[in-house]
Amino acid sequence: MHEAGLMAEAMNKAETLAMQCNADAVAGLTLRVGVLSGVALQALQFAFDAMKPGTVFEQAELRLEQVLPRLSCRDCGMEYAAQERGQRCPVCKGSNTSLLQGGELELAKLELIVREDRTS
């Protein structure tokens, strides 16, 4: 259950950005979560719902974008969709692979509500 700490990190960063933009509130925030990041989406949602009352996120919607894994084969250069780490290359059957995507854990988008006279 390390999702609470990660959600807090996302909310801290988002709040800092919201203040820098003189925003009144946050309408939405989007996290990009790789399937292989080891993070459970429900746990992120749970943490967000638990922490948002009384903050700039009170009315905000959390969107969680899943990123499917892709690997590249270091032997033949093939890039392919995979279900798991270390899945063998479909072309040369090699196991010397690296993860191209699917391990992400990012704050990807922030939608702010700003008064017109405060926009810079």
Site residues, other proteins (CB under 8 A): 1-2, 5-6, 9-10, 13, 17, 21, 23-24, 27, 31, 36-39, 84-86, 95-97, 105-119
- Comparing CB distances to other proteins, the nearer of 51 and 113 is 113
Cβ(93)–Cβ(12) below 8 Å:
no
Q: What whole-number distance in Å separates Cα of residue 14 and Cα of residue 24?
A: 13
Angle among Cα 120, 114, 106 to the nearest 5 degrees reads: 95
Name the region of 43 (left: φ>0; alpha: ψ -120 to 50; beta: rest).
alpha
Both structure tokens of 13: 């960063």
Residue closer to other proteins (CB basis): 79 or 85: 85
Nearer to other proteins, 24 or 49 (CB): 24
CB of 53 to other proteins, least distance (A): 20
In the complex, least distance from residue 87 CB atom to other proteins, rounded to whole angstroms: 9
